[in-house]
Structure 1
Amino acid sequence: MTKAITTIPFATEAAALLWDADQLKNRIREKVSKESFIWLLHFENRYRTIDSLLTPPGVPNVLEIASGFSFRGLQLCSQSAINYFDTDLPDSIATKQQVVDKLIEQHHLETKGTYRLMPLNALDTAAFNAVVDQFPPGPVAIVNEGLLMYLDEPEKRQLCANIHAVLTKRGGYWITGDIYLKKGDREHAHTNPTAAAFLAMHNVEEKKFDSFKAATDFFTSCGFSIAAKEVVAYDQLSALRFIEHRNIPEEVVRSWFTSRETWKLVVEP
């Protein structure tokens, strides 16, 4: 929903399918309030930084896990002859399939590649491998955003093991937008009570990394090395149009993004 007032492909159209006109209008009004603007920038930047590292994929197969209402795969397959498997938990992917079907119909989309929506719990090793085995031969790019901060360390290590095994066998890379640092009380400065309660219930703050070094050490211990990083996709942030009149210098805007990075990880040789 947050992305509905950005220029992220299909975000606005999907929101219109999921919400009636009055609900959508009220929620958009909330998102452009001062309280929510930082979150709007945050979510758009996370999406854009992943795209910066993913586009073009450079591999024939892409697996997005815990994709939520991201339509990155639909957009990429409308432009490139790749195989894109868009996955999430069963209930989420069933709802998303309905939205995607309507988007394809509304926009008369013809995909150049193969785009499939599939149910998957990415922590389930057998299910993970079964999905990957449906790709044609060749390397795989694995993509995620908005997942790792919900996993405790054993779950993170299980996910890493699943991904490491696939990349070792096939080649490719993993792009994650979830390199979050703990921020303590600052985390809740721009969070409404409902969202704050949700984050507290899932212990999200505790599940973030203590530092970027700690994150590096964690992934190294799981057999990965960092191939590239992306912090701010400044030139692609359409949400900045809402504060153009304030003439905020670019370096100030960039300073707002200090507690999260997007990393491209590869299996250590």
Structure 2
Amino acid sequence: MDMNKDGVAVSALYTAGVWQWAGLSNAELTTPESATGVFRWVNAYMRFYRWLNPQSYCLRHQLLHRHSAIDHLVKQAHCPRVLEVASGFSPRGATLSANPDCHYTEMDLPGMVAHKRLQFQRTAAGKAVLARPNFTLQAGDITTYDFSADAVSKPMTILTEGLMMYFSRSQQLPLWRAIAMRLAKSDGVYIFDYIPLTEEPARSFLGRVLHNLRVHWFGIAGDFAYDERDREAVARDLQLCGFDDVRCYATGEVAQAWNLPAAEVATRTLIYVCRMKNSTVSVPATTTASKKSEQSS
């Protein structure tokens, strides 16, 4: 994952730029100044990419719908505790922790947590967020984090937005098992996004040629750990890890119903919602987007 001169992932800066561009609540508190330049540069590149691959989706709307759909699901869950892993510069914690009944924990690598804490400290409003007793910035690595260490028995929502595509199947499975074991003890819901290759728009002929040159000639494979699983296979893996109720929603198919911003713009990111048997946590009713995953159960 490319880093800027301050050691911040370019992807984190771009997504922060998306939140600011979209005017999401509290984005002004969490978005670094350097995100603006990254946002413009990546958008310029994406204009070329979409000209090359006309069937591809607009990246900034993909990320906006992903984030907003997860916001919708978190609010539907009504869990008193939220753990957002790899939170980056997300403004979600600052927004939801305004409700004193919601205890919100953001976890990321130590360097990222230090950058975000500094960002909050630049404004009086940001300092007020840090001072909330129900808001926690926590350094940690999901690959070594002990989910069972939290002894609180209240239902919890666990989020891994924009993370699972960086892990291979062999890396995902133990993480999903650990999360399932944690929720089996306290009730709750696990929410994450993923885009299998089968859901990706087809590249144009020229796009395929340049992709093959990049991968096979120059050895630039990218950061995503793609494999051959489709949405149903991912759902089966989640069930294998202990989740009894696995639902899948495609952002473009729920955008209108969930009142996502810019709902008229086509996007396609899969959002998985995973619960244990007899969970009391609420999730949206089944839609066309989730029927395939349920049929695979």
TM-score bracket relative to the smaller structure: 0.7 to 0.9
TM-score calculated relative to the size of structure 2: 0.68
Taking only aligned residues, the RMSD between alpha carbons, in angstroms, comes to 3.5
Q: Structure 2: which 5+ runs fail to align?
A: 1-13, 51-56, 279-297
How far apart, in 2, do the equivalents of 1:85 and 1:151 lie? 22
Q: CA deviation at 1:13?
A: 4.8
TM-fit CA distance, 1:168: 1.0
Deviations 1:127-181 (A, max 9, x none): x333x34xx4411110111111111122111111210111111111111122x11
Match of 2:24 in 1: 8
Q: Does 1:266 align with 2:275?
A: yes
Amino acid at match of 2:97: C
- For the pair 1:234 / 2:255, whether they are aligned, the reply is yes
Residue 34 of structure 2 corresponds to residue 19 of structure 1? yes
Structure 2 equivalent of residue 200 of structure 1: 221
- Structure with bigger helix share is 1
Q: Does the CA-based 8 Å contact 1:60-1:83 persist in structure 2?
A: yes
Distance 1:155 1:45 in 2: 26
Residue matched to 2:231: 212
Matched, 1:120 2:140: yes
**Cα pair distance change 1:110/1:146, threshold 3 Å:** closer
- Change in CA separation of 1:43 and 1:185 when aligned onto 2, cut-off 3 Å: closer
Asked if structure 1 preserves the Cα contact closer than 8 Å seen for 2:29 and 2:126, the reply is no
Cα separation, 2, equivalents of 1:268 and 1:55: 20
Secondary structure of the residue aligned to 1:84 is strand
Distance 1:186 1:79 in 2: 43
More displaced 10-residue stretch of structure 1: 105-114 or 92-101: 105-114
Identical counterparts, % of pairs = 20
Partner in structure 1 of residue 192 of structure 2: 176
| SS of structure 1 residue aligned to 2:272 | strand
Residues in 1 aligned to 2:39 and 2:169: alpha-carbon distance in whole angstroms: 39
Does the 8 Å contact 1:6/1:239 carry over to 2?
Answer: no
Q: TM-score, normalised by structure 1?
A: 0.74
Partners of 2:30 and 2:113 lie apart in 1 by 14
Q: 1:63 to 1:203 in 2, by over 3 A?
A: closer
Counterpart amino acid of residue 262 in structure 1 = I
Give the letter for the 1:213 counterpart: E
**In 2, Cα distance between the equivalents of 1:71 and 1:267?**
28
The total of aligned residue pairs comes to 243
Q: What is the SS of the residue equivalent to 1:142?
A: strand
**Amino acid of the structure 2 residue aligned with 1:83:** H
Name the amino acid aligned to 1:63. L
1:120–1:7 CA distance, 2 compared to 1 (3 A): same
Question: SS at the partner of 1:79?
Answer: coil
Shift of 1:25: 8.1
User: Does the aligned pair in 2 maintain the 1:89–1:120 contact within 8 Å?
Assistant: yes
The 3 A distance-change label for structure 1 pair 263 and 113 is farther
Give 1:18 deviation, angstroms: 3.5
